[in-house]
Structure 1
Amino acid sequence: MIDLNKQLADTISTIVRPLGDHIAVEISGSDGFSFSYHENIPMLSASLIKLPVLLYAYKSAELDSSILEQTIHLDEQKIVSGSGVLQILSLRDWTIRDLLALMINVSDNTATNLLMDFFGIENLQAWVEKQGLVETRIERKMMDEEAQREGRTNWISAHDANWMIQQIFSEKNPLPDDAKAWLLHQQYRDKLPGLFDEKSQPVTVYNKTGEMEEIDHDAAYFFYNGHSVAVTVLTSGIENRQDALFPIQNIGQLIEEYLVEVAHSVG
């Protein structure tokens, strides 16, 4: 197992180091594998900032289970562009649970903004800080150009995002199965699981992506036969998008192959 872990770490290192400070990685496996590279360097978060919103919502629901069934009315002026489906649907009343599903499953920006309004950006940031996530900042809603002009934006690190994805599956207090299903069936699967997602293979991948101009991220939880790996890859400032997707996809395939080999080696 030690040799297998070292081999994987060495291979990932050869992929990421040529990209210098344009990439950040943190990986943590249930069988002792770990790898980190620039993991504490904050980058523009893009849609990975939706992970703390998801976690905060379910932590709030632990105190008041009725929160998830509360209804929010969507006013026309609150619809924003970018990813999502609320901008094309006619329904205007949505439960918190459904907005969370849309935020994760189709990365809906309008749903995210409604949830940020409901829970409060200051409350979300205070919760982030309470968890010790010092490289994550929630300063604005999605597609808020005025906030961007004022210098307010959202940041995250590979370390913080990887902690968040692990919290969803924590043995002590995991999120419910429906939340996990949103990640499993989400519509953006071209990054960490991109090279094998449509193939017949046994590894299950739950992931959340983020992208902006010259920004490509993915945070995922790989699971197979009782073995798991949490992996986050952030990229920033890579002009040719294929040059950003290449390391993300190849790291994902390496993790998939590793999990299968680990499971078989231990019977």
Structure 2
Amino acid sequence: MLACSSAAIAQPQDATTAAVQQIIAQHHGKVAVYAHQLNTDKTIAIDAEQPVQTASTIKLAMLWTAMREIGLGHAAWNEKLTLQPGEGVAGSGVLHFFDTPLTVTLKDVATMMVIVSDNTATNMMIDRFTTKKVDDNMTALGLDRTWLYKKVSKPAVGPMPADQKKFGLGKTTARQISTVMEKIGRCDLNIAGQPAVDPAKAQVACKAAIEMLRNQFYRDTIPRYLETLDNTEAGSGIASKTGSLDATRSDVAIIAAKSGPIVLAVYTYENSDKGWSVDNEGEVTVAKIAKAIVTAWSPQGIDGKALVPDLGLPQAK
């Protein structure tokens, strides 16, 4: 395993790590990276234990929680949720433009939360499952630095950890959020010492979730230089969830590399470039890091078909 800091490195680095370090050195801000190829165990960890603002990438923890609840039989994709008047919030997404009351399925709400990072949909998911459920799950998984603090664009409710104001919506590390994404990809919805999910129900949850992540709308970060062909019919070889704030750009993905699946999380933060164009430096930095790692580890490229239906990952037992 390669472990390094974005500061000066004393130990030797391999060529891929050195290439990533060079990209980071040119970025006007801070960067945290965790990359792991699951079949070869190749790993790059650069400030991977540093707590960072999640922005919308914390929605992966909510997605995993919803998947687990479906696997336990406590929820179902076809159950109905209703958006009431006055509950819509601005920002990413479209639900806040719709007439209310609006009744949709849980699957529709989760899909909107993922593919267009819909903030109103996220809050509907929080109403259904609660931040406490998400945070208790993350803690039980050993992900003690991964927290969903509150609803989007709503004030925090009740006693909050002292660092909530610093991190806003949520907190994680590049390594810990990668664990969440890997569990989604492996359809690993169990927590040690707690009731086990039903395998058939879990598969229903996982297949739908992967399709959501494969169709994630914002593709200017990790997929930017990796997807060179139209994937609207064949499907994307990258299942991902982005997060953006004025000074933060991040993306977390499973990449169906032909040499073996790669889990990758890249966070750029405290960025000088706070613009919202596709050429934002943070977005480009994430894309360059993804290209450097995937090109080095999988010169053959990526394969969208490997993501149908389960990312080509070994399934959880």
Instruction: Tell me the TM-score normalized by structure 2.
Output: 0.74
Q: Bigger CA drift: 52-61 or 11-20?
A: 11-20
Q: How far apart in 2 are the matches of 1:171 and 1:263?
A: 24
Residues 108, 200 of structure 1: alpha-carbon distance in 2 compared, 3 angstrom cutoff = closer
- The structural deviation recorded for 1:12 is 1.3
1:185 is aligned to: 215
Q: How far apart in 2 are the matches of 1:78 and 1:171?
A: 32
SS of equivalent to 2:229: coil
Q: Tell me how many residue pairs correspond in the alignment.
A: 260
Q: 1:102 aligns with which of 91, 112, 115?
A: 112
Residues 177, 171 of structure 1: alpha-carbon distance in 2 compared, 3 angstrom cutoff = closer
Q: 2:293 aligns with which of 246, 255, 258?
A: 255
SS of equivalent to 2:94: coil
Comparing both structures, which one devotes a greater share of its residues to helix?
Answer: 1
Residues 115, 32 of structure 1: alpha-carbon distance in 2 compared, 3 angstrom cutoff = same
Q: Bigger CA drift: 206-215 or 14-23?
A: 14-23
2:7 is aligned to: none
Q: Does 1:244 align with 2:277?
A: no
Deviations 1:199-248 (A, max 9, x none): 36998111100001101010011113361111000111112153322321
SS of equivalent to 1:78: coil
- The structural deviation recorded for 1:73 is 1.0
Paired amino acid for 1:126: D
Kept in 1, the 8 Å contact 2:213–2:239? The answer is yes
2:70 is aligned to: 61
- The structural deviation recorded for 1:179 is 1.2
SS of equivalent to 2:14: helix
Kindly, what percent of the aligned residue pairs are identical? 21
Give the unaligned 5+ runs of structure 1: none
SS of equivalent to 1:100: helix
Paired amino acid for 2:266: V
Give the unaligned 5+ runs of structure 2: 1-12, 190-202, 275-279, 303-317
CA RMSD of superposed structures (Å): 2.8
Instruction: Tell me the TM-score normalized by structure 1.
Output: 0.87
2:199 is aligned to: none
Deviations 1:24-54 (A, max 9, x none): 1100002221000111111111101100000
Paired amino acid for 1:155: K
Deviations 1:66-97 (A, max 9, x none): 53222111112110001111112336001111
SS of equivalent to 2:268: strand
Q: Does 1:89 align with 2:98?
A: yes
